[in-house]
Structure 1
């Protein structure tokens, strides 16, 4: 799962396998922050890039060697993740240029995929590396990387972690010419990925979790795009930023969440709904759409979805935001592991029925590579994405879940994907 944290009851496989499609779940930890993703020229030269992803790869190899002893079949492995976990799955699909090491036969990516929002080049993190080296008094060493290795854990950990629980450094996966040989968009365009069936999807209002706050004017939105102000992370060329302003106009009815109609939310920023729509597309939706398109180009099955339900554990204003589908996929009706509100509290029976449907579809895909194989007495059928007929399964509890054309905010997402180079992905 994304944002790896201590164990939680939120992700109970027992509830997920109640549909009659049993499987064995294997979870594992991997190194995070600088421990797993330290990047610089020195790290590249040493061949120790993207260690966190290599940890994951080693775990997948362990499964191949040992799962039979637990009653599992090494030939029937599905890798699965959400958010950072979904991105990790995407990296394994394109690892070493799509080299198939026989580690898995299917993949599930929830709100994450092969086109990552991470910087493409290690050079982005050189300054952070140099600053860290200086902070722990390694600057004068001829081999600064070895010096970092020799620094006591407590000293290095204190340097990495800021006050209030926020990290001082935000290292992330980078293109290294090895595990990640190129930008994700390039690898998908060249079809350099493992050709296995996938489930890939996002939540309608992802952007309420990722968009900036406090943007009240178009001028401020422009500064967010071009100068990385207001929490922006990418400095776009001015012509690209101007086109984004056109494709994401100052019209709240085109923003998110949709249920607000033409209403604005001044407390979040007069243009919050506008900037949130853009943020969701650039962080999640455009990437997911391109992933599904790429799979159809090699006639590889892709089951794509859009989750469109506001659960009870987050404020209504957030809509169907990031992570909200997880409780439904795991059929966690009781809200085990949730403490600040439970997803199904006070919701109608249709929410529980949707959860049952989604859990059955995920289990069926893991078991049979077909999400429809275990579905009984339901009008819902999940069609694969088509090159001539691109479709998502819209998961909804207020209306019957159904297939929809994958054309929503098409112009904006198409443009974002066409300029993957300036986004560095």
Structure 2
């Protein structure tokens, strides 16, 4: 089950897995082996651990594919075909997939990483529970299921408390160059988008095996944030919208069906691929990709750690899994028609927008340059966009009201930061979210859309309600595990933040259970929320999650002209 070698990349800190509790460092939680649960799959049986504090059964480090190592490196994932008798332990998280970024710090990593984890409320093993499948984010280059911020125990516990019991599964997938390698040789072998194919195989595994854990394969909801949310979108559009009956609903937070970046950077990928081949000493090999497969990990990793070789690898149009540009598929309805939740935060792009931007001319220069978020735009389009996104005191994000008036932003933000942040937020996040909700409404498919408008303690006044602000609330992570500071440590507002978390976690659980987030409106908690309306063509409405008032409903028409133009010219952005 375990790869014999593990690695740290980018000089990241290594810690021993024995120091991690089964809940990803929830120090107060102690598992018990006295009441160990058993689950049976097509390959054999697993023995998990019973978590008395939360009355839950955990199955950790369950493989769903053959390890993608050695000759399987840079290839499609392969179904797990081994069988055994007796019970295999499923009591420890597997290693993280090899990634490059700060989210990997402190976690052991390995190429042998295609595993999943199951969290089930105890006593429900024969109940055919609805299943929430979590796909982590991280820009397709970092992240993993061990991350303490993605602890599934709390959201599962809350589902039981509101009488909407569910189980949750978290899946790992290959990242960066290991999951999204690209180049002519890779495309010729049909080996593009491997990380997405990993996820897809995990969903097939769930269909085949989750009933052995007490889950209902007919009631699967796929759920992600950021790149995980984009992944949900890729599965909704996979194979030109083919419905393989892998899920009945989707939840997309900060990364809807039309992804943020261009999907047609083949030329730049090929140049990078050739540089890696040369640096690795494989230029003279007859089969260069096989030469890279044969390299020891440490040798390949040393090559990837040079310049930008380990970054910028993302999904691409391959004519198969990613059949066409996402905007084209959304336009003609080539997506799986299942209910969704889709939303963004108010100041979504504040942490990722270009910096410093001191003048409109500097923003223009950035818009004219290709990046991982866009292709260089033509001048006439930029002129129109800058008219719709002016550098004025009343426009931009964070809003003047949120900031308490007009303020001067320190470096490295710049005087035109609010202008650039507003454009970036809409170009990368909001426009795609709005187009997603509009498309679902146009095809009479249920869509519940939202805007999260609560600034956690982890965000600065400059950032506002930034990307990732809603995650702790939805996961009901009230202790702030994995965060510094605790997102809920906001002085006299803490109680209202906690109530908002219960409302959101309950609404998500209600959606997973009944495909309707309104099935629970605060029962058992001292909190209420507005009724969450369906997004329709005639009434395009969002629920706004705001700790000051818990929630309210708004018309989804702010920055209407700019967002409409961004969606109209989606192909100019390569999406």
Residues 340-395 of structure 1: per-residue CA shift (max 9 Å, x gap): 21100134121111111101000000111100112246241100101111111111
- Name the CA distance, whole Å, in 1 between partners of 2:383 and 2:529: 44
| TM-score in terms of structure 1 length | 0.95
Cα RMSD between the aligned structures? 1.7
Deviation at 1:48, TM superposition (A): 0.8
Q: Structure 2 vs 1, CA of residues 210 and 371 (structure 1 numbering), >3 Å: closer, same or farther? A: same
Deviation at 1:198, TM superposition (A): 0.2
- Name the CA distance, whole Å, in 2 between partners of 1:167 and 1:277: 30
1:235 is matched with 376
Deviation at 1:20, TM superposition (A): 2.3
| Partner of residue 78 from structure 1, selected from 196, 221, 228 | 221
1:153 is matched with 297
- Aligned 1:297-312 pairs, distance under 5 A: 297-312=442-457
**Structure 2: any 5+ residue segments left out of the alignment?**
1-135
Conservation of the 8 A alpha-carbon contact between 2:351 and 2:467: yes
Q: Structure 2 vs 1, CA of residues 227 and 304 (structure 1 numbering), >3 Å: closer, same or farther? A: same
- Aligned 1:55-70 pairs, distance under 5 A: 55-70=198-213
- Name the CA distance, whole Å, in 1 between partners of 2:339 and 2:317: 25
Residues 59-115 of structure 1: per-residue CA shift (max 9 Å, x gap): 000000100000000000000000010000000000001100000000000001221
| Partner of residue 387 from structure 1, selected from 516, 524, 537 | 537
**Structure 1: any 5+ residue segments left out of the alignment?**
none
More strand by share: 2
| TM-score in terms of structure 2 length | 0.71
- Aligned 1:20-419 pairs, distance under 5 A: 20-121=163-264, 122-162=266-306, 168-228=310-370, 233-258=374-399, 259-260=402-403, 261-267=405-411, 268-338=413-483, 340-347=484-491, 348=493, 349-376=495-522, 378-419=528-569
Larger mean Cα displacement after TM superposition, 261-270 or 71-80: 261-270
Conservation of the 8 A alpha-carbon contact between 1:118 and 1:174: no
Q: Quick one: higher RCO (CA 8 Å, sep 6+), 1 or 2?
A: 1
Larger mean Cα displacement after TM superposition, 368-377 or 10-19: 10-19
Q: Structure 2 vs 1, CA of residues 232 and 87 (structure 1 numbering), >3 Å: closer, same or farther? A: closer
- Name the CA distance, whole Å, in 2 between partners of 1:23 and 1:256: 37
Aligned to 1:2, what secondary structure does the other structure show? coil
Bigger Rg, which one: 2
More helix by share: 1
Q: Which runs of 4+ in 1 moved over 6 A?
A: none
1:11 is matched with 150
Aligned to 1:86, what secondary structure does the other structure show? helix
Deviation at 1:119, TM superposition (A): 2.4
Conservation of the 8 A alpha-carbon contact between 2:427 and 2:563: yes
1:2 is matched with 137
- Name the CA distance, whole Å, in 2 between partners of 1:36 and 1:252: 43
- Name the CA distance, whole Å, in 2 between partners of 1:131 and 1:99: 36
- Name the CA distance, whole Å, in 1 between partners of 2:460 and 2:529: 31
Q: Work out the number of aligned pairs and report it.
A: 421
Q: Structure 2 vs 1, CA of residues 390 and 232 (structure 1 numbering), >3 Å: closer, same or farther? A: closer
- Name the CA distance, whole Å, in 1 between partners of 2:569 and 2:440: 20
